[in-house]
Amino acid sequence: MTFDSASRRTPATPGSTPSTGPRGESLDELLDRLCATVEDYPKPGITFKDLTPVFADPVGLRAIVDALTVPFAGQFELVAGVEARGFLLAAAAAYATGTGVITVRKKGKLPRRTISEDYALEYGSATLEVHEDDIPPGTRVLLLDDVLATGGTLSAATRLMERTGAHVAGIGVVLELTALHGRAALAGHRVRSLQRVDV
């Protein structure tokens, strides 16, 4: 199992982005400055990390896209984004790297025949889908999402990619909530997180 991450608590790994713009900030500093923290959302006791201000900032968006894609350069032909914020990252990453992009959608959102994968939630379950003919067998896919929490969603997305015959070249996220141990659900895959947060 191979993991690499850039964390405020550990030195940056090779391939991480040490400086992101004219301020001379590290990637951690940029994320700390731009990411909004919302208490008691979506329910009391939850601290929500809102990345939309990072996406809205041109330096921030470029920095996170570069940091997610550079370590996997030349290793993928397609970027897959998980609904919904993963769509933003995947589209930007695909454009930046000259590759294609597909969306991993919630059940019932795609118009043609799909492949589905169920995963467990705290109360109940959910389903992710892709069109069955969107990914040619053998395609190397970089899978992106905004946050790695329990790992349930990304684990389901990974299984979905593999069921199409694709090879998951890597998994990239902006934030990893380390207290929820989501990496364990992605055993055997290379995971790149840009910031590890103990919440």
Quick count: other Cβ atoms within 10 Å of Cβ 151? Answer: 22
Task: Give 13's DSSP letter.
Answer: P
Q: Report the candidate in 162, 6, 157 with the shortest Cα–Cα distance to residue 70.
A: 6
167 - beta bridge partners?
Answer: 140
Cα separation, 68 vs 60, in Å, equals 12
18 neighbors 24 (Cβ within 8 angstroms): no
Cα separation, 98 vs 122, in Å, equals 38
Among all residues, which ones are annotated catalytic? 85, 122
Q: Report the candidate in 126, 118, 177, 179 with the shortest Cα–Cα distance to residue 148.
A: 177
